Amino acid sequence: MVPPAAGMGLQGQDERERFENEVRRILKAAGGERLVLRLLGSLAFQMHCPRYGFLQAKLGRAYTDIDFASYSQQAKGIRDLLGRLGYAEDREIFVVTEGGRAIFQNPVIHMHVDVFYGKLDFSHVIPWDGRLEADEPTIPLAEMLLEKMQIVQINEKDVIDTIMLLLEHPLGNTDHETIHMGRVAALCAADWGMWRTATMNLGKVGLLAQGYVQLEGVDKARVVEQVQAALARIEAEPKSLAWRLRARVGDRVKWYKDVDEVQ
Amino acid sequence: MTGRVRDLMHPGLITCSMDTPLGQAAMLLVRHRVHAVVVNDRDGRPAGLLSDFDLLAGEWLSKDPESLEAMRRMTAGDLMSAPLNTIEGEASASEAAERMRREGFHRLIVRDQGRPVGVLSISDLVAHLATGEPARRETVADVMSHAILVCREETPVREVARTMTEARYRSVLVLDRDGRPRGVVSGWDLLACLDGGDGAEARAEQVMHPALTIRPEASLREAADLMIEHHYHRLVVIDPARPEAVPLGILSSYDIVSEMARPGSVWQT
């Protein structure tokens, strides 16, 4: 039997609540110390999608760890905070990533916490750029969409999270309960590689959504409509000279970074 | 801006074919001292333009051997911008300038009765702008060159010589790390580096001569006096209130002679 991919598989409600409660405990403690700590990853999608969050459990999307975003100036405060909450940091990761990422383990409750400082840097770079204050307790919805759409080797768990996001929130030009497409389009217009991956993945999400029997017909149509609107907004954004030049080279040269998975 | 496009353009087109490799296209640009070549289709008709900026993609994207190999396989036809942006030779210079600004073009292919006959670049329009005469030509400030070529004290003289040659300047002003003028390197100074030794490995500060300075409001006669007295061919024009700041310009003996040769000057009436 083939084991489920990471982030997929049946997960009991007790286990899901254990992750969700731990997130709330960390966020409450961070808020008390005025630290800018925003949730991303599967738990962020769950928290920011109260109407469609049930799809994660229904489609077999499991929590595996807790991911946060913050600014590098907050690294010491976050390290101290998580230390008080029972977490130990793997200092080597922080050093190797030049302060871009920190990994913490809580050996008692067996929780794994990732903190991404300044940016998310996998297949493409999503800079936080002072954007973390735009939403709470998660990163802004635009960055949540980009977090998934920047993954070249996108997998089912990422597709499920994106479907939830697109069903739950309208597209627009604000961050309040809205996916700020101006921000998405600007990042895609600044970097052809990001545009290439994000538009490719949006198309995949629209297609793959049609294959989920757990989704109602109206929801499938809504996902397609949202994908088409997002693609149209991205296309409408004026592109830089560098973007247009890179576009001429196209797929002949690799447009993304290979991701070294840090466990 | 007055003048017609056909009078300002570079006549003729430097061309290459669609399947010209990028390395060969780069050689074409350098050989003809141009910033872009027209890419012709298989029937010999202009299909697009390949500029030095487009060719930068070669270096920009060759981050690893695999990417370099991919870029080396690309051709002028792959990287050119198309379609060609054209303008009629009869159009005015201001019309061309307006179009370049509005549409973000750096050059336009000039057509005469539909046939491509030349290229009009920003440099051509800039050169045209430079031909306009200032209203008054009495003081050093009126005739000096405001744009100056500079280098740092530690700049190798080989680089100084290369930049002077490429920019067609006859001297370079040497600044320290804080932008204060320290001296001037002229062609004369560089002669010492041709004695067969390792002079070309020297730095600017080792060959420069001290800068002789003058105020911008000084008369051309004062400037000529100073040059003759010290046997200097160029003066560094400084702001008297801030003598250690980056200079205002350079006045050369050629600038004064040019003024003498100008129609309408006291020497020509």
pLDDT in tens, A167-200: 999 999 999 999 999 999 999 999 999 999 999 9
Return the amino acid letter for B250.
I
Structure tokens at B124: 């051509």
Q: Does B25 touch chain A (CB under 8 A)?
A: no
Average model confidence (pLDDT) across chain A? 94
pLDDT at B231: 81
Question: Which residue in this structure is represented by tokens 């750029």?
Answer: A129
CA–CA dist B252, A44 (Å, integer) = 68
Predicted pLDDT at A181: 98
- Alpha-carbon gap: B100 to the closest alpha carbon of chain A (Å): 14
HSE, side-chain direction, 13 A CA sphere, residue A213? 0
pLDDT given for residue A261 in this prediction: 56
| Two tokens, residue A145 | 């969409």
**C-alpha span between B199 and A207 (Å, rounded):** 69
Calculate Rg over the CA atoms of chain B: 23
A170: amino acid identity, one letter: P
Interval A52-104: pLDDT, tens: 999 988 888 899 999 999 999 999 999 999 999 999 999 999 999 999 999 99
Confidence of residue A204 (pLDDT cuts 50, 70, 90): very high
User: Where does the pLDDT of residue B197 fall: very low under 50, low under 70, confident under 90, or very high at 90 and above?
Assistant: low
The Cα–Cα gap between B154 and B204 comes to 6
Beta strands in chain B (DSSP E): 10-11, 15-17, 36-40, 46-51, 86-88, 107-112, 115-121, 150-152, 171-175, 181-186, 213-214, 234-237, 249-252
Work out the minimum CA distance from B1 to partner chain A, whole angstroms.
28
Continuous H helices in B64-104: 65-73, 76-79, 93-103
What's the distance, Cα to Cα, between the start and end of chain B in Å? 28
Q: Does B213 lie at the interface with A, CB-CB under 8 angstroms? A: no
What phi and psi, each to the nearest 5 degrees, are found at residue B105?
-90, 145
Q: Is the dihedral of CA A13, A15, A18, A20 positive or negative?
A: negative
Q: In the numeric block, which tokens belong to residue A21?
A: 């409660």
Q: What is the pLDDT of residues B222-258, one digit of tens each?
A: 888 888 888 888 899 999 999 899 999 999 888 887 7
Q: Would the CA dihedral through B3, B6, B7, B9 be positive or negative?
A: positive
Contact at CB, A249 and B78, closer than 8 angstroms: yes
Of B55, B60, B68, which to mutate for an interface test with A (greatest number of A Cβ within 10 Å)? B60
Report residue A20 CA to chain centroid gap.
16
The least confident of A128-142, B162-176, B184-198, B230-244 is B184-198
Q: What is the ipTM of this complex?
A: 0.71
The pLDDT assigned to B123 comes to: 81
Instruction: Judge whether B164 and B187 are in contact, CB under 8 Å.
Output: yes
Contacts with B74 from chain A: Cβ below 8 Å: 249, 252
pLDDT at A166: 98
* pLDDT > 60? residue A110: yes
Of A241, A244, A249, the CB nearest to B61: A249
Instruction: For residue B227, give every residue at least 6 positions away whose Cβ sits within 8 Å of its Cβ, in sequence order, or none.
Output: B233, B234, B235, B253, B256
Order of all β-strands in the sheet with B86-88: B10-11, B115-121, B107-112, B86-88
Q: Which residues pair with B115 in a beta bridge?
A: B112
How many residues belong to chain A? Answer: 263
Q: Which pLDDT value is given to residue A69?
A: 98
Cα of A203 to nearest chain B Cα, Å: 26
pLDDT reading at A263 higher than 50: no
The mean of the pLDDT values for chain B is 86
Q: At which residue do the structure tokens 């309960």 appear? A: A177
Q: Which two tokens mark B24? A: 């060969």
The pLDDT value recorded for residue B228 is 82
| C-beta pairs of A216-224 under 8 Å, 24+ apart in sequence | A219/A167, A222/A166, A222/A167, A223/A163, A223/A166, A223/A167
CA dist B175 and B160 (Å) reads 13
B172 to each of B143, B180, B249, how far by Cα in Å? 18, 14, 11
Residue B134 pLDDT exceeds 60: no
Q: Write down the pLDDT at residue A198.
A: 98
Residues of B within 8 A of A248 (CB-CB) are 54, 57, 78-81
Which chain B residues are within 8 Å of A241, Cβ to Cβ?
Answer: 53, 104
Give the residue from A245, A246, A254, A256 with the most B CB atoms within 10 Å of its CB, the best one to mutate. A245
- Report the alpha-carbon angle A179-A181-A185, nearest 5: 145
In the numeric block, which tokens belong to residue B48? 């697009």
pTM exceeding the 0.90 threshold for the entire prediction? no
pLDDT band at B19 (very low <50, low <70, confident <90, very high): very high
pLDDT band at B189 (very low <50, low <70, confident <90, very high): confident
Per-residue confidence (pLDDT) for residue A187, from 0 to 100: 97
What amino acid is encoded at A175 in this protein? D
